[in-house]
Structures are given as C-alpha cells and as structure tokens.
Amino acid sequence: MESDSALVKQTLRGGHHHYGVLVHRYADYLFGLGMRLTRGDRALSEDLSQQSFLKSYLYLKSFDLNKSYKHWLTGIALNCFKDLRGDHWDYVPLVEADEPQITPDFRSDDAFFELIRPLSPEERALVTLRFVYEYQVDEIAELMNLKSGTTKSKLSRALEKLR
C-alpha cells in the first residue's frame, strides 16, 4: 500500500488517477465526520465530503509532504463545514454523473446524533474530533485555528452541556 505522500507526489507529477486512491482511502472517514458534524444529515455529509475532496485536490500543491494528509484533509473538511453551516444552506443535489460512485459503509449512529443535538456546530466538531476520532487537544486547536487553552475550555463547556 502506497503512502499518502507518495500518492500526492504522483498526482502532482501528472498522474491524476492516483488521487482516486486517496479519495477511496478517506471517503468513509470524511463521510463519517460529516454525519457527526451535521447530526446525521446524509445529503449534507455527502456534499461536505465532495467539497472537501475537491478543495484538497485544487490546493494539493500547498500540501506539506512532511505532514499527515489525513490531518490536512480534516482541516479542509472543517473549513467546508464552517462554510456550510450558515443559516441558509444552499444545497443542490448533484445530477447522476458518469463517474465512479463511492458508497461509504456507515452504520447508523442515531444515539450519538441525539446526544450531540443540543451542541452548537463548533461544539459538535470539538466533541467529535476529541472523542470519536481521538485527536489530541493541540491537534484540534490547530485544525480549528484556536489556542489550546481555548479548545480545552470549549470542550469542557460542551461536555458540561451534555451532562
């Protein structure tokens, strides 16, 4: 199995089909993150995944090969989520295209969605990254452009809200 960095290098050298391997590798992960951030909204989660992959492909030249592609992709997904979470989500379903479809194996997590319902979008992101995907506080702070102390206090308030 080729490393993410090797696939990025091959894509940047003109082997654009190598990027499909990265999409396939992280499709379930991004969809699952989207489902948790959107409280189980499948259509928005699919849109979030597609936008994240599109933006990561467009900005692939700016990826630091010495860092984790998954971490970088997660940051892009969080930024896409911030863009989508406005009062009016302009979601337009894509017309069926003659492109390969990836259907993630994602089991229903209704209890989790119900648990995080009272949280704000930012709090959902913090709780999901920390307790579902087990990111460290410093990593979450970096992903969400916050200071570590701010991240800790926001996480604490979110957990208090859940109690």
Of 107, 130, 145, which marks where a domain is finished?
107
pTM as predicted: 0.71
- Is the distance from CB of 74 to CB of 143 less than 8 angstroms? yes
pLDDT (0 to 100) of residue 86: 63
Assess whether 42 and 76 both reside in one domain.
yes
Residue 126 burial by Cβ neighbours in a 10 Å radius (0-12, 13-18, 19+) = buried
The domain spanning residue 51 has which CATH number?
Answer: 1.10.1740.10
| Conformational region of residue 104, where left means phi above 0, alpha means psi within -120 to 50, and beta covers everything else | beta
Assess whether 77 and 135 both reside in one domain.
no
Assess whether 35 and 71 both reside in one domain.
yes
Number of domains in the chain: 2
Question: Is 113 part of any domain?
Answer: no
Assess whether 101 and 62 both reside in one domain.
yes
pLDDT (0 to 100) of residue 117: 85
Q: Distances in Å between the alpha carbon of 158 and those of 6, 62, 119, 151?
A: 38, 33, 7, 10
Measure the CA–CA gap between 163 and 64, rounded to whole angstroms.
Answer: 40
Question: Is 127 part of any domain?
Answer: yes
Q: Which domain holds residue 133?
A: 118-163
- Is the distance from CB of 61 to CB of 12 less than 8 angstroms? yes
Mean pLDDT over all residues of the chain? 85
- Distance of alpha carbon 79 from the chain centroid: 9
Structure tokens at 108: 């229903």
Question: Is 21 part of any domain?
Answer: yes
**Residues of the chain scoring pLDDT < 50:** 87-100, 102, 104-106
Assess whether 92 and 153 both reside in one domain.
no
Which residue stretches of the chain are H helix? 4-12, 19-37, 42-58, 69-84, 110-116, 121-127, 137-143, 148-162
Assess whether 85 and 152 both reside in one domain.
no
